[in-house]
Amino acid sequence: MGSEERYHKTCSISWEKIHQDCKILASRLHGIRKWERIVGIARGGLIPSAIIARELSIKLVDTVCISSYTLRTQGKPNILKDIQSPSGGRDWLIIDDLVDTGKTSQVVRSLLPNAYFATVYAKPEGRPFVDTFIMEVSQDTWILFPWDAEYTYSKPLVEDA
């Protein structure tokens, strides 16, 4: 299924909104356990993991790099940078910006089966693959994050004469 058939709506997220939602996620994660390490899923999970690491005072920050999107099309996840833990990630916190179909989440779960997985946003197909999230969006919505967009001049409907 191409992106034209899959995504019927776009939801633009501002820097202020993602920061606010990451702080809400951090407050939900606080007290669950003492997190030993935070692992951001690159690239979308890097900014949320930095905000959450700051809020929860987690000093050890790592990444796992998975490639699965090309423009607005999701393909087969490809591990670009692996991560391993002798404990399977026990007391590790995995952060991503979004769980969509759950394909990336399943790959990361196979690498760190004992880690706690949190995303800022979740779609129905991906929800079963994460432990917690802040906001659910419909499966047919493309989320446009601020790091994937730029502000440009918008021409008025009617120009001054």
Q: pLDDT of 121-149, one tens digit each?
A: 999 999 999 999 999 999 999 999 999 99
108: confidence class by pLDDT, cuts 50, 70, 90: very high
CA atoms within 13 A on the CB side of 33: 11
Active-site hit among 96, 140, 148, 160: 96
**Model confidence at 101: pLDDT above 50:** yes
8 Å CB contact between 17 and 144: no
Secondary structure class of 109 (helix, strand, coil) = helix
**Model confidence at 39: pLDDT above 80:** yes
**Model confidence at 100: pLDDT above 90:** yes
Active-site hit among 62, 100, 131, 140: 100
CATH class of the 14-148 domain in this structure? alpha beta
Asked about 100 being catalytic, the answer comes back as yes
Strands (E), 56-139: 61-70, 73-81, 92-99, 116-122, 132-136
Give the domain ranges of the chain. Answer: 14-148
Secondary structure class of 149 (helix, strand, coil) = coil
Asked about 96 being catalytic, the answer comes back as yes
Q: Are strands 9-12 and 141-144 parallel, antiparallel or unpaired?
A: parallel
**Model confidence at 44: pLDDT above 90:** yes
